[in-house]
Amino acid sequence: MRKGSELPLRAGRLRTSTLLHVGALLAGVAVALSFPSMAPSPYEITVGIAILNYAVLSTSWNFVGGFTGYISLGHGAFAGLGAYGTGLLVTKAELPPFAALFVAAALVAALAVPVGYAALRVRGASFVIVSIALVLILLLVFQSWASFTGGSRGLVVPRPFPGMLRSEHHRTFYFLFAALLGVALLTWWIIDRSRFGMGLKAIREDEDKAQSLGTPIFAYKLVVFVVSATFTSLAGGLYALWFGDLDPVFQFSILSGAYMVLMALLGGVRHLYGPLLGALIVGYALEYSKVEYGDTPLHLVVAGLLLGVVVMFMPDGVIPAATALLARFRTSGETSIREVTAAELKERHGQGNGTDESEVRNSERSGSGG
Amino acid sequence: MPSTSLIFQSIVLGVLLGGLYALLAAGLTLYFGVMRVVMIAHSAFLILAAYLAWYAHRETGIDPLLTLVATVPLFFVAGVAMQRLLLTRLRPATLTMMSVLLTFSVALTIEGLLGYAFSGTQRRIRLGYSSAGFEFLGARIAAVKLIAFGMAALALLGLYVLMKHSRFGQALRATIQQREAAQLLGIDTDRIAGYGFGLGLATAAVGGTALALDTTIYPSLHWHWIGPLMAIIVVGGLGSVPGAAIAAMTLGMLQSLLQLELSTTWAQTVFYVALFATLAFRPQGFFGGRLAQRF
């Protein structure tokens, strides 16, 4: 009975919220796409590219981190492999740049299978250990194997569009990164609404229960790990084509993996746009501090402290934190219905209106006070 | 094929290095035991202790070994504080993952502060006995390496006696094995867990001082330690101190032997190979019990 009366109301709400979502999405896309033509100088476009790169990386990380709750500190390894794979395929195998990008991503995906197999067989702690070990081992290999990777001297990747002016080059890559971000977000959204995504989230909430309910937890975790690695590698490869110069210290840096985690966590790992939001905040702050303060060891301190604060005080990110804050202002904040009569409850649900609710509360309070 | 004396020398060096690994891995195992925490900042504290020893030596000229008097209690208190003030406040449901991030952020902060305070320059303590050494069955052993090993061995022995033969050690082991049951027996497991954490960090103080004796240190060095150490505790079986010690000795020796044929960096990959192989074929490690199978 009550459900029946509520249904049309909920449908109406759903429609307005969907409209709002679509509107906000279109506005966001419009702003993002018009940014290059509004930017006063190519420098702003490069900042935009850096932030988009962070957003893709962090969204890719969130396939594993957000759905399954497994935190990988070593996703920088997949970005580095994508970058070096693309660069080496272009320079050594002389593949066309964008073919190299996808071949490298396929290779990384193939490598992610055994890595994921080793990492995901047991629970969380070993996964983290493997993820960090992966970055450290690849850093060792790419630094030592100088004859193939260029070692610490770096690897120069030729530009994919040789005749293009510098500003045009940046503009093109801005749109390429934006497109990749779009695909990554769309994939996340589709998984989020699928049965597969449901299983992954069940793993996050309680792996034992998920398993006893028949979710093929190992296969699910492995598949999403490979998907995540593939997107990360695409972002890394695109970065290689854009930036054109690779150094193992930066490509296989534990710090870049930490930034991905920080951004996703800050924005909110359970939300589609959480990592994007985190990338906007942290990425902008990073680029700003690079210009203002240069490269000092203090950026490590700031990153460390920020990560610590997020972990301690808002592990669900700013989106839930802000929503909770808003909700506190919006509703009565009542969690108990012990003092409310059934008639009042029915009335309240029938109207479902904020102002009436507070009126009821006020009259209640004055009643009990007098 | 290297000569026999060279191989023997490598084995001796491997044992000496393995002792230090074993001590540090014991610290990591303690954290894992009491709280199921993978403490990424362990090696950052190790380097911090090394820097403190180096700094005290540079400023006052005292022997780095004397800094132990200050750093061991200091690190113990820091460990207790870290457990009581930071780690216990995390949500129990996501503790394993979030504690990794939290200790990771501590590691980054320490690395950044070290870089800020002492710059990224490589530092090394020069002592009167730095170049001293002696021959042992054809192998040449530096005195500082032997001192470092002796410190590690003494600390490990002390830890063993404490764990096996004191009431505190019994309480600590009970807390590690069955927290609820320990509580029922009247053990204040929260306090004991805090002390266990402090004890783990104290091993980093001893290890760091030992490290400072014969190694060149720089702020980002801790990444070269945490990887091998984590590999050791996984190979040994998470939570098993004897397992960690055996794995530390074996892998330390393997690394030392591989250095004969390969460069130092390639030799270090033995840890990661062992890590991946263990997880792929025997994920609970080689000496881990019930505990290791779930993590």
Residues B109-123: b if buried by 16+ CB within 10 A, e if exposed: bbbbbbbeebeeeeb
**Residue bearing the bigger pLDDT, B68 or B241:** B68
Model pLDDT for residues B245-293, shown as the tens digit of each residue:
899 999 999 998 888 888 777 888 889 999 888 888 887 777 765 554 4
- B228: domain CATH number is 1.10.3470
Q: Which range among A5-14, B222-231, B239-248 has the greatest average pLDDT?
A: B222-231
Residue B289 lies in a domain: yes
Q: Quote the pLDDT of residue B13.
A: 86
Instruction: Classify residue A289 by burial, with Cβ atoms within 10 Å: 0-12, 13-18, 19+.
Output: middle
Residues 113-132 on B with a CB inside 8 Å of A are 113-116, 120
Topology adopted by domain A38-296: ABC transporter involved in vitamin B12 uptake, BtuC (1.10.3470)
Model pLDDT for residues A305-349, shown as the tens digit of each residue:
999 999 998 888 888 888 888 877 776 555 666 667 777 777 766
Distance from CA of B5 to the nearest CA of A (A): 28
> Among all residues of chain A, which has the CA nearest to that of B235?
A126
Q: How far is CA B20 from CA B34, B142, B208, B232, in A?
A: 22, 15, 9, 12
Gap between the Cα atoms of A194 and A186, Å rounded: 12
Q: Quote the pLDDT of residue B96.
A: 82
Q: Which two tokens stand for residue A163?
A: 């005749």
The pLDDT averaged over each successive group of 10 residues in chain A (370 residues) is 49 72 86 83 88 95 92 92 94 90 95 90 81 90 85 84 84 93 95 93 89 90 95 95 89 89 90 91 86 79 90 85 79 63 71 45 41
Task: Tabulate helix, strand, coil % of chain A (nearest 5).
Answer: 80, 0, 20
State which residues form the domain around B11. Answer: 4-121+132-293
Residues 19-78 on B with a CB inside 8 Å of A are 32, 36, 38, 40
Q: Does B272 touch chain A (CB under 8 A)?
A: yes
Interface with chain B: mutation pick from A61, A68, A123, A126, highest number of B CBs within 10 Å? A126
Residue B167 lies in a domain: yes
For residue A256, count other CB atoms closer than 10 A to its CB.
20
Q: What is the Cα gyration radius of chain B?
A: 19
Distance from CA of A22 to the nearest CA of B (A): 33
Q: Quote the pLDDT of residue A353.
A: 46
Give the global pTM: 0.84
Model pLDDT for residues B63-110, shown as the tens digit of each residue:
888 889 999 999 999 999 999 998 888 888 788 888 888 999 999 999
Gap between the Cα atoms of B143 and A179, Å rounded: 61
Q: Quote the pLDDT of residue B92.
A: 82
Containing B135, the helix (H) or strand (E) segment is strand B133-136
Residue B139 lies in a domain: yes
Residue B127 lies in a domain: no
pLDDT band at B203 (very low <50, low <70, confident <90, very high): very high
What total number of domains does chain B contain? 1
Containing B134, the helix (H) or strand (E) segment is strand B133-136
Query: Tell me, what DSSP letter sits at residue A153?
Result: G
Residue B126 lies in a domain: no
Model pLDDT for residues B5-60, shown as the tens digit of each residue:
788 888 888 888 899 999 999 999 888 888 888 899 999 999 999 999 999 998 88
Residue B247 lies in a domain: yes
Q: Please report the ipTM that was assigned to this predicted complex.
A: 0.87
Q: Quote the pLDDT of residue A370.
A: 33
DSSP calls for B64-128: GGGGHHHHHHHHHHHHHHIIIIIGGGS-GGGHHHHHHHHHHHHHHHHHHHHHHHH-S--B----T
Distance from CA of A158 to the nearest CA of B (A): 29
Q: Quote the pLDDT of residue A42.
A: 81
Residues A65-97: b if buried by 16+ CB within 10 A, e if exposed: bbbbbbbbbbbbbbbbbbbbbbbbbbeeeebeb
Nearest to A307 among B36, B105, B113 (CB): B105
Strands (E) across chain A are located at 155-156, 245-246
Q: Which two tokens stand for residue A4?
A: 């029946």
Q: Quote the pLDDT of residue B133.
A: 73
